[in-house]
Amino acid sequence: MANRANHYEAAFEGYVRSLRVPCVAIDESKRAIFGDEGVKNPDFLLYPRFASNLVVEVKGKKGRNARGRRPWENWVTIDDLDGLARWQEIFGPGFRAIIAFVYAEKPMPFPLPPREQGSYSFRNREYWFWGVELDDYVAHLRSHGPAWRGVAMARAEFRRRVRPLIEWLPMRLEAPRRPKAFKECIR
């Protein structure tokens, strides 16, 4: 079961369900065993209709720093990356591993309508959802703290590669354009 006490994961699940993307929340309380060692479970498996299935690790971050700026904080642990890589390999070519960064803020006193900001309202916070593919993330790592095995991408590299989560979750094909007149098609 997903950690619903973690507001970032709960908001992620709410957002994905609001898009009607089939998803499975994974029980993180026990590690899976492969061979002689355990592997960290991902947070979710997502099954968008018109894209690869996704193995997702959710990382919650504050939307703004103390100065009111968006710092694009994106650190994770080596354990997170190792777990994602192993699950992607186990599931095979039909799955892609992504890290979903969920940024949260308390709403402003006079907010704009949430959908116009690209945000999702959940439990009195506004959330923004971004994703980066595991391979892109790993290719641009730098140490964030050897004591707890943290890594991050440089912010400029992160901004170039991160995409809104919605782009990873296509649930419908755009309808083909119809010709102006049926008669033109049969000539």
Higher pLDDT, 163 or 184: 163
Q: Is residue 150 part of a domain?
A: yes
Pair 55, 25: CB distance under 8 Å: no
Closest CA to 76 of 50, 51, 58, 93: 58
* Torsions phi, psi for 126 (to 5 deg): -105, 135
pTM for the model stands at 0.81
pLDDT of residue 2: 57
Dump pLDDT digits (tens) for 9-48: 999 999 999 999 999 999 877 767 666 677 889 999 999 9
Residue 186 has pLDDT above 60, yes or no: no
Q: Residue 182's pLDDT band (boundaries 50, 70, 90)? A: very low
Q: How many residues are present in the chain?
A: 187
* Domain encompassing residue 141: 7-186
What CA–CA distance (Å, rounded) separates 154 from 178? 45
Q: Is residue 121 part of a domain?
A: yes
pLDDT of residue 39: 84
Q: Is residue 26 part of a domain?
A: yes
> Which stretches of 27-181 are DSSP H helices?
78-91, 114-117, 134-139, 155-161
Q: Is residue 1 part of a domain?
A: no
Q: Kind and range of the H or E element at 10?
A: helix 7-18
**Residue 62, beta-bridge partner list:** 104
Q: Is residue 2 part of a domain?
A: no
Dump pLDDT digits (tens) for 84-111: 999 999 999 999 999 999 998 876 655 5
Residue 149 has pLDDT above 90, yes or no: no
Tokens at residue 182, please?
């049926």
pLDDT of residue 175: 45
Q: Is residue 84 part of a domain?
A: yes
Count of domains in the chain? Answer: 1
CATH of the domain at 16: 3.40.1350.10
Q: Is residue 148 part of a domain?
A: yes
Residue 181 has pLDDT above 50, yes or no: no
Q: Is residue 102 part of a domain?
A: yes
pLDDT of residue 71: 73
The percentage of residues in the chain with a pLDDT greater than 90, rounded to a whole number, is 47
What CA–CA distance (Å, rounded) separates 19 from 166? 9
How crowded is residue 182: how many other Cβ atoms within 10 Å of its Cβ?
A: 8
Q: Kind and range of the H or E element at 8?
A: helix 7-18
Q: List all residues 6 or more positions away from 106 whose beta carbon is below 8 Å from its beta carbon.
A: 124, 125, 126
